[in-house]
Structure 1
Amino acid sequence: MLYIDANGPDWGGQEPENIPALIKRLKSEPLDPIYETMGNFIVSYQPSSWTPENKRFEGCTHFFGHFATSPYVFSIITDEKVVIDSLTSAIRMNQCRTDYERIKHNAKI
């Protein structure tokens, strides 16, 4: 199961971009390090309360955050191993970028 709540420059009014578009952006722009304090971009999906609607996300991984230098947000919920592995790898590589480290250092995170 793959649910893309947001993936692009806006939360509403546009169709979300696909996973390859996010991975491409992760290779070229630094994430906003503030998300390290909110689960480090990747968490097990845990709603404030389980409902019949969100029960389908049980056991899923939630990827979320935005970029430091451009208005681009992502919120993706999935249990697909290939997607989880690809996004986890791309996010962790992004966190090793020198521009990410500089932004993190300047923000004192």
Structure 2
Amino acid sequence: MLYIDANGPEWSASDPDNLPALVKRLKSEPLDPIYEGIGNFIVPYRPSGTAGETKRFKGCTHFFGHFATSSYVFSLVTDEKTVIDSLTAEIRMNQCRPDYQKIKVNAKI
């Protein structure tokens, strides 16, 4: 299961972009390092609503954050191992980028 809550310019009312669009952006621009302090972009999903939500997302991983140099936000929940592995690797590679590291140092994070 893959649920994309947001993936695109801020929390727009339009349909979210697809997963390849997020991966492409992760390869081309730095994430905002502020998210290191609130889960480091990847956390076990914590349901906050109904019993149905709890059952639907049990055992899922939540990916969330935004980019430092553009107005682009993402929030998605999945239990698909290939998606989890791929996004985790892309996010960790993004955090190794020189521009990400420079932003992090300048922000004193």
What's the TM-score, normalizing by structure 1?
A: 0.95
Q: CA deviation at 1:53?
A: 3.4
1: distance between equivalents of 2:10 and 2:92?
23
* Match status 1:13 vs 2:7: no
SS at match of 1:16: coil
Local SS of the residue matching 1:53: helix
| CA deviation after TM superposition for structure 1 residue 54, in Å | 1.5
Q: What are structure 1's unaligned runs of at least 5 residues?
A: none
| Number of residues of Structure 1 aligned to a counterpart in Structure 2 | 108
How large is the RMSD of aligned CA atoms in angstroms?
1.0
Q: Residue 50 of structure 1: CA displacement?
A: 5.1
Who is 1:54 aligned against?
A: 53
Alpha-carbon distance in 2 for matches of 1:78, 1:43:
11
Query: 1:10: how far off?
Result: 2.7
Identity %: 74
- Name the CA distance, whole Å, in 2 between partners of 1:23 and 1:12: 19
Q: Which amino acid aligns with 1:69?
A: T
Structure 1 residues 38-85: Cα deviation after superposition (integer angstroms, max 9, x where no partner): 0000000013x4522322111000000000000000000000011101
Query: Residue 44 of structure 1 aligns with which residue?
Result: 44
Trace 1:1-109 onto structure 2 (pairs within 5 A): 1-47=1-47, 49=48, 51-55=50-54, 56-109=56-109
Deviation >4 Å, runs of 4+: none
